[in-house]
Amino acid sequence: MEKSKEEAVKGKRNILAAGLILALSASVWGCQSREKGAGEENVPEFVLTYAENQAEDYPTTQGAYRFAELVKQRTGGKVEILINAEGILGDERTVIEQLQFGGVDFARVSLSPLSEFVPELNVLQLPYLYTGAEHMWKVLEGEIGDSFLGSFEGSSLVALSWYDAGARNFYNSVRPIEKLEDMKGLTIRVQESELMSDSIRVLGAVPKQMAYGEVYSGLQTGEIDGAENNWPSYESTRHYEVARYYTIDEHTRVPELQLAAQSTWDKLPEEYRIIITQCAKESARYERSLWKEREAQSEQNIREAGCIITELSKEEKSRFQAAVMPMYGKYCSDYVDMIDRIVAEGR
């Protein structure tokens, strides 16, 4: 007899539910220690998941593969980390939530959505905070960066290392942005961050929070007029095909972080934690070297693709800076001394 529509839907739901249970139990199994049987010396003791939302060839993804490779080598194959790129484990916000309960074991995420979970991180993504890449890296690689890595207590997350993501610039499909007034009325996608939404508002545009993976269709359908990101992301996502005006204003430098789930971390023997932390830091150095090359290459490709690139004049940049200044007080009034220390590092 033919199944009724209702039964078919029910059947589908059951299949989905069974799939979910299987996936969950696989992940629970993954981060648990296995009993060793005879001849199992080379079998991993821990099989762990790693979430990454960029494409396979992107510097952060390549950094993740290097991380997994080093960990495997140095634990003699006992810890295996499976990289899931291209956002297949969910958008960044979802991944952070999953990390908090151990549904994902590791991830590389942008500091912007992460700041909603660990608010003091907002300090490090304040608009126009750094004078350039050198300044940011002096901060992140020094005592200040280390103190932020150690400030995740109570978040159910463990911070391992900083990755590079360059500077972010505005782009849109409507007009070149040459002066502050050009921002007026444009709907600009931002990451899931209140600080970023507010920054867009004070610049006269309309913010729209949206997951990274939805931006292309948002631009294509006209749901948003523009977005903001670094050169490699603008290129890799092909946003440049649908939003051809790119303005170099470098309003933020938002670093990335490699994270572990606290619950996974707690299950790992000390010996493996030390190795993993070390490998994360080594993979970060690798990512940074790839980043430099990729940033230059992407800029060149975008220019060759005929996009309309403008650069804010010094005077206009000062106007943008002045407009976003209230963000410092609104989001980081408890960290005035820290901001002063960061600014001092750039002098």
- Smallest distance from ligand GCU to CB 52, Å: 8
For ligand GCU, give the closer residue by CB, 78 or 239: 239
| CA–CA gap between residue 309 and residue 55 (Å, rounded) | 24
CB of 12 to ligand GCU, least distance (A): 31
Transcribe 212-226 into DSSP letters.
Answer: GGGHHHHHHHTS-SE
CA neighbor of 188 nearest in space, from 243, 230, 107, 109: 243
When the beta carbons of 75 and 298 are compared against ligand GCU, the nearer one is 298
Largest interatomic CA distance in the chain: 79
Residue 308 C-beta: closest distance to ligand GCU, Å: 21
Three-class secondary structure of residue 162 per DSSP: strand
In the complex, minimum distance from the CB of residue 165 to ligand GCU, in angstroms, rounded to a whole number: 5
6 to 13, 14, 250: CA distances (angstroms): 11, 12, 54
Nearest residue (CB) to ligand GCU, 92 versus 295: 92
Can you say how many angstroms the Cα of residue 39 is from the centroid of all Cα atoms in its chain?
41
Choice between 128 and 171, CB closer to ligand GCU = 171
Q: Which residue, 54 or 310, has its beta carbon nearer to ligand GCU?
A: 54
Cα–Cα–Cα angle for 192, 48, 148, nearest 5°?
A: 45
Q: Are 115 and 195 in contact (CB under 8 A)?
A: yes
* Nearest residue to 127 (alpha-carbon basis) of 254, 231, 246: 254
Contact residues for 249 (Cβ-Cβ < 8 A; gap 6+):
169, 170, 177, 311, 312, 317, 320
Least distance from ligand GCU to the Cβ atom of residue 85, Å: 11
**What residues form DSSP beta bridges with 245?**
172, 308
Find the DSSP H helices in 3-102: 5-30, 59-74, 92-101
Taking the least distance from each CB to ligand GCU, the nearer of 80 and 286 is 286
Q: How far is the CB of 111 from ligand GCU (least distance, A)?
A: 9
Closest CB to ligand GCU among 111 and 268? 111
**Tokens representing residue 102 in the block:** 């151990």
The residue ranges that bind ligand GCU (CB under 6 A) are 53-54, 92, 110, 165, 191, 212, 229, 233, 256
Question: Minimum CB separation from ligand GCU for residue 230, in Å?
Answer: 6
Residue 90: name the closest of 204, 206, 257, 211 by CA: 211
Q: Which two tokens stand for residue 195?
A: 């600080």
126 or 268, CB closer to ligand GCU? 126
Shortest spacing between CB 53 and ligand GCU, in angstroms = 5
